[in-house]
Amino acid sequence: MNPVRPVLLTTLLVLLAACGERNAIDEPLPSVLEATPGATASEPPPARTAPGPGYEVPPASEEPEAQAAAVTQTDTDWGRIWDALPAAFPVYPGAVETEEAGGGEPVSATFSTAAAADELATWMQSRLELATYSTEALSGPLEDGSFVLDSVGDEDCRIQTTVAPAESLTIIAVRYGAACPFE
């Protein structure tokens, strides 16, 4: 008999015994989806596209406060808004930033996608709520098929998201209030 076989067999038995002590079969490791609130197996994580108009890329060494200072603000009929969205703002997977106007009024960012308006409005509402913004109102579908989602955060932070069908695409226009954090 080969002298290496008993050593290999003994090593294998020791390893199997060690694994059995952990009870690995009865207690599987948690999956990534279990650690992510609201995630589902069929839903990819939110993607982020380039920031909106008026955004200047600050040097990487700057702190978030310095990055926010690089983004300008604009006064609108709705109120004062940031001219871009923070990097952590939820963007529908596959949506791309577009130059489409948000109803002629300045917006923080505009995106387009082929998804249905009602699906987008529901998705935005759930993602903003996961990001700790409360839904103040979700109006729609309006006569033109659009939805308007009004969300609020801490203190005077307000966000208005308009989701409107336009030919073969759906346009998402976001007004991100100046009182909201820009991180």
Write out the two tokens for 128.
Answer: 């903003």
Residue-wise pLDDT tens digits, 32-75 = 333 334 333 334 334 444 444 443 444 444 454 544 558 999 99
pLDDT score for 178? 96
Is the per-residue pLDDT at 105 higher than 60?
yes
Q: In this predicted structure, which of 58-72, 95-109, 165-179 has the lowest mean pLDDT?
A: 58-72
75, 59 contact by CB (below 8 A): no
Question: Could you tell me which of 182, 104, 106, 103 has the C-alpha nearest to residue 148?
Answer: 103
Residue found under tokens 């969300």: 151
Residue-wise pLDDT tens digits, 128-142 = 999 999 999 999 999
pLDDT score for 100? 67
Distance of alpha carbon 160 from alpha carbon 11, whole angstroms: 64
Write out the two tokens for 100.
Answer: 């489409």
Residues 89-108: what's their mean pLDDT?
85
Domain boundaries, the chain: 4-35, 71-176
Is the per-residue pLDDT at 81 higher than 50?
yes
